[in-house]
Structure formats: C-alpha cells, structure tokens
Structure 1
Amino acid sequence: MKGKILLVTGLATGYVLGARAGRGRYEQIKANWLKLYETEPVQKQVRTVQGFAKARVSAVPTTLFSGAKTVVKIVRSNRSPGQKLDDTLGEVGDVKDEIGDIADDSSSR
C-alpha cells in the first residue's frame, strides 16, 4: 500500500513539476490537490504520520548515524574494494531494516 501511495504521489508531483500546460492548469491542479488534502481520510493519515514522527523522531537519526559510522569504518579498513562494497551494502540493508522496524513498531500502536 505504501508503495502505491508513493507511486501516485511521485507521478502527480512529476506531472505538476513537468507540466507545460501553463499557470492556469497548475492552479487547477493545486486547487484539486488542496480539496483532496482537506478531506477527512487524508487528514486522518496526516495525523497518523505526525504521531509517528513525534513518537519516533529521535530513533531514526540515531540509527542513521550508527550506520554511517559503521560504513566509515568499513571504508577505512584494509579490505579489498569488493569486500568493502559487500560489507557496505550489508550495512545499508541492516539500517534499512532497523528503520523499517521503527516504522512497524509505531504503526502497530
């Protein structure tokens, strides 16, 4: 579901930013977007995201910083370039999973 929302948002954003239909069409899209944004289902999700951000905002930077420190250690090591790449990709995957766990923990509340 999250992927579909991101896809639709990305497509809409790309259209708005790339549209060459002029200011009138832009204003029309903007007005429709604001109407949609103000609906209760959308606002409910906005409140959910805000709650997540407030509850878990401190955990994400800590996780990212920890992952970045590990990547720096990997790059500075005496391993071969291939080993460094493999270890770095593994660490990036671990950080991604940790952030996903943070999001899952917050959404299950």
Structure 2
Amino acid sequence: MMGKVLFLAAGAAGYVLGARAGRERYEQISSVASRAWGNPKVQQKVGDLEGKATDVAKQAGAAAQEKVGAAAGSVAGTVRSKVGGGSGGSADDGDAGDSGAAPLGEQHHTRMPTD
C-alpha cells in the first residue's frame, strides 16, 4: 500500500515538474493536491502512520540500547580482566585478580617515557 502511495506521489511530482501546460495546469494540480491533503481520511492515515513510525522507532531504539549495553558490558569485562589480571592471576580465578583493584574510573594513569 505504501509503495503505491509513494509511486503516485512521485508520479504527480514528476508530472508537475515536467508539465508543459503552464502555470494554469500547475495551479489546477496544486489545488487538487491541497484538497486531497486536507481530506480527513488522508489526515487519519497520516496520523496512523505517524503512530506506527513512532512505535517502530521506539522498538528500534530499545533494541539498539540493549545491543549497546551488552557490547559495553563485554568491553568493560574484557578491560577489567586485562587490568585486574596483571597480578599473576588468571581471569578464571574469580575475584582473586580484582583484590585491591580500584574501579575503572578511579585508577591512576602512568606516563609513558618520552624520547
């Protein structure tokens, strides 16, 4: 259904832009388009489509947020295992590698030697 509407709109736009009938024909087409757009049935469909688009956008946003959260958790876990695992323990030691380690936001940074 949406494809047909898009096709008709594109066809009308192409006709208007390519018409050689002059300003009078353009005004005629513009008047018909304005009346069609102002039709309550058309406005009802526009409202329905806006509602559907909003719902789809919310669902896509929620799905993206879940994926980003999962990826961030995975990256944070990898960073923690790399930073906390430097004391000789492996990542499978449970909390043994994290004993005394500061949370990621509170760690001190060391400077690299310069040339």
With the length of structure 2 as denominator, give the TM-score of the two structures: 0.45
Say which structure is richer in helix: 1
Q: Which has the larger radius of gyration?
A: 2
- TM-score under structure 1 length normalisation: 0.47
Higher RCO (CA 8 Å, separation ≥ 6 residues) = 1
